[in-house]
Amino acid sequence: MLNQLSLSLFIFLNCAMANSVALGNPNAPVKGTFQYNLGQQPTTLNALSSSDAYASTVQSYILESLGDKNIDTDTWEPALATSWEIAKDETTFTFTLRQGVKWHDGKPFTAEDVKFSFEAIMDKEDKWKTAHQKSYFENIAEVKILAPNKVQFVAKSKYFKNFDVAAGMAIVPKHLYENTSKENLRVLNKTLVGTGPYILADLQRGKSITLTKNKNWWGLSEDRNKGKNNFEKILMRFIKDPTIEVTRLEKGDIDFIGLNAEQFVKKADGPKWGKDVFKVQTQNKAPNGYGFIGWNLKNPMFESKKVRTALYHLINRDLMIEKFDYNMNVPATGPIYLQSEYADPTVKALAYDPQKALKLLKEDGWKPGPDNILEKKIGKELVKLSFTILEPNQDYVKYLTVFKEDAIKAGVEVKIKYIEWTTFIKLLDERNFEAVRLGWSGGTPDWDPKQIWHTDSYVGGGSNFIGYSNKAVDKLIDEARMTMDKTKRTTLLKKVYKLIADDVPYAFFFNNKYTFYAHTKRMKRLKDTYNFGIGTNYWWIQ
């Protein structure tokens, strides 16, 4: 929490953190290639239009923002800004920019880049395809250049994340992104130029991305960065199959993988484990994501809450957790992980109950047809309760298969279609699906649901791709965003959580109890995890 000095016009935050304690090993050698499994090739590397976690991982090594979150304290520290001032009314934020920073192509970083990055995100014509970001930045009215080394973010009104939005905005080079021709945008899909500790060196389509250490990175002179970014190269492979992933780790083709519960218990086993490769079970305060089935609420089949609830009652999550997750996960109850302070503990997980599902479907007018598939007249059309779930992850098909086999017994026909990631994202953007199985990453500890759950986030490629709309939820989200008192905001967001869970727009799957990962013998680290992340940026090669 930022301290407010009531007698001054500005709150001045002294952010010269160069003397802060380094989180890494200051004596760690800088050498070698860190081989990492990204899992999928990003749909695009374009820093403005990309929306998947794969692109975000790559960009985290290359792009920077004005501030950087400390992985142990979750507080802001200087990055492209050396200090900042927050007005007493918390609606203006003035940043002093770091001098002498250069983009990877040698051009100087300037205040113009900061101003452009904001304006590109909020472009009314959406030339840069940034709809998924707009909800975060919509409360910022403008970015002013006050001096060659000073920019000011001016907010329209109070919003509890105004500072986070300003300090955390990824800065892109204006000289590369201002050209919105189709030809240049195609180039930006495959290239990435930043100011950060690593440079994009190579993209092998369908295979890997290689990053090389930026020898001119400004952070090398900061004491707090000693022991951070200790690899000469980072090789990111695109290995989708979890069994192959573990095998490649055992061979030494990759050095680190995040494990799911099944991999941890069953696959990370054998003569090499504990000798050449190691697995780790740990816990930290980082937000956890969750998987879900999202129903296209614009499809008349899913408009009824009774149908969505019935389908949820046909998903045997307890069996899935026992069979595939070895009781290492718990059923999710709503739109944020259970451990979050914003999750309403009174909301209980919907249980597997085929009889209750059939009762609800009967109440809603569904009756068995000649082939025993339930059907109902919707408008003038006789509709079968039959739909396709799009699945971008082959490993998750087994969970959906359990659902499919139970659903058919109740007269519901579930089809599963495994689909390549890029095509999957395109269909989401086009809203061209019946149901999808996907997952959201954990985000930040302070929850703002607008991007996914507000009615406004449906249009223009926003993340509310299922078309969820509840006026009461919209009102509470809008109120919570403007509530600076965290206790009051938590109360509001717990109501949001409860309302969304009650609407059953998703079938929420699981929340993780633990974080699992594995690494090769040559990878060294100070600790299993930091407070808000594992912290592979602080690892080194022996």
Tokens matching residue 28:
């760690």
User: What per-residue confidence (pLDDT) applies to 37?
Assistant: 96
Per-residue pLDDT tens for 99-124? 999 999 999 999 999 999 999 999 99
Same domain flag for 245 and 374: no
pLDDT of 361 > 80? The answer is yes
Q: Among 84, 72, 17, 28, which Cα is nearest to 222's?
A: 17
Same domain membership, residue 247 and residue 191: no
Tokens representing 282 are 């740990």
Which helix H or strand E contains 230, and what residues bound it?
Answer: none
Q: In the chain, pLDDT over 90 holds for what percent of residues?
A: 90
Identify whether the C-beta of residue 36 lies closer than 8 Å to the C-beta of residue 523: no
What is the domain-level CATH number for residue 57? Answer: 3.90.76.10
Which domain-ending residue is among 176, 199, 222? 199
Residue 379: is its pLDDT beyond 50?
A: yes
Supply the pLDDT for residue 20. Answer: 63
**283-287, 342-346, 469-473: lowest mean pLDDT where?**
283-287
Are 348 and 475 within one domain?
A: yes
The model carries a pTM of 0.87
- Of 120, 152, 151, the C-alpha closest to 137 is 120
369 has pLDDT over 90: yes
Q: Are 446 and 310 in a shared domain?
A: yes
Does residue 113 lie within any of the structural domains? Answer: yes
Residue 220 lies inside a defined structural domain of this protein: no
**Residue 535 lies in domain:** 239-283+514-541
The pLDDT > 70 percentage for the chain reads 96
Q: Which amino acid, 376?
A: K
Q: Is the pLDDT of residue 539 over 70?
A: yes
Size of the chain in residues: 542
pLDDT given at position 342: 97
- Residue 462: what pLDDT? 80
User: Is position 69 within any domain?
Assistant: yes
Whether 272 maps to a domain, the answer reads: yes
Long-range contacts formed by 428-434: CB under 8 A, 24+ apart = 428/465, 429/461, 429/465, 431/296, 431/298, 431/465, 431/467, 433/296, 433/388, 433/390, 434/295, 434/296, 434/299, 434/301, 434/302, 434/387, 434/388, 434/389
Residue 398: what are its φ and ψ, rounded to 5°?
A: -65, -35
Does 518 have pLDDT greater than 60? yes
Q: What is the DSSP string of 104-137?
A: TTSPBP-HHHHHHHHHHHT-TT-TT--HHHHHHH
In this structure, the strands spanning 208-213 and 76-78 are unpaired
Are 160 and 260 within one domain?
no
pLDDT in tens, 322-333: 999 999 999 999
| 244-292 pLDDT, tens digit each | 999 999 999 999 999 999 999 999 999 999 999 999 999 999 999 999 9
pLDDT in tens, 207-247: 999 999 999 999 999 999 999 999 999 999 999 999 999 99
- Give start and end residues of each alpha helix (H) in 191-299: 242-251, 261-262
Let me know whether 71 and 189 are in one domain: yes
φ/ψ region of 374 (left if φ > 0, alpha if ψ in -120 to 50, else beta) reads beta
Q: How many domains does the chain have?
A: 3
Do residue 45 and residue 60 come from a single domain? yes
**Average pLDDT estimate for 532-537:** 96
Q: 97: which 2 tokens?
A: 């920019």
Residues 108, 143: one domain?
yes
Indicate whether 159 and 266 sit together in one domain: no
Q: Let me know if residue 208 belongs to a domain.
A: no
Neighbours of 175 (CB within 10 A): 16
Q: What is the mean pLDDT of residues 458-487?
A: 93
d(CA 318, CA 332): 11
Q: What confidence category does residue 22 fall into, taking pLDDT thresholds of 50, 70 and 90?
A: confident
131-140, 401-410, 495-504: least confident range = 131-140
Give the rounded distance of the alpha carbon of 173 from its chain centre. Answer: 23
Does the residue 227 lie in any domain? no
Give phi and psi for 502, each to the nearest 5: -70, -30
Domain boundary among 177, 199, 221: 199
Q: Is residue 221 part of a domain?
A: no
**Quick one: 15 and 101 in the same domain?**
yes
What is the CATH number for 494? 3.10.105.10
The span from the CA of 493 to the CA of 488, in Å, is 9
pLDDT of residue 398: 96
Q: What does the pLDDT average to over 440-465?
A: 90
Work out the average pLDDT over 501-524.
Answer: 96
pLDDT above 80 for 18? no
Same structural domain, 394 and 502: yes
Query: Does 3 fall in a domain?
Result: no
The whole-angstrom separation of Cα 78 and Cα 17 is: 7
CATH of the domain at 244: 3.40.190.10
Round to whole Å and give the CA distance between 246 and 263. 8
User: Is the domain of 520 the same as that of 490?
Assistant: no
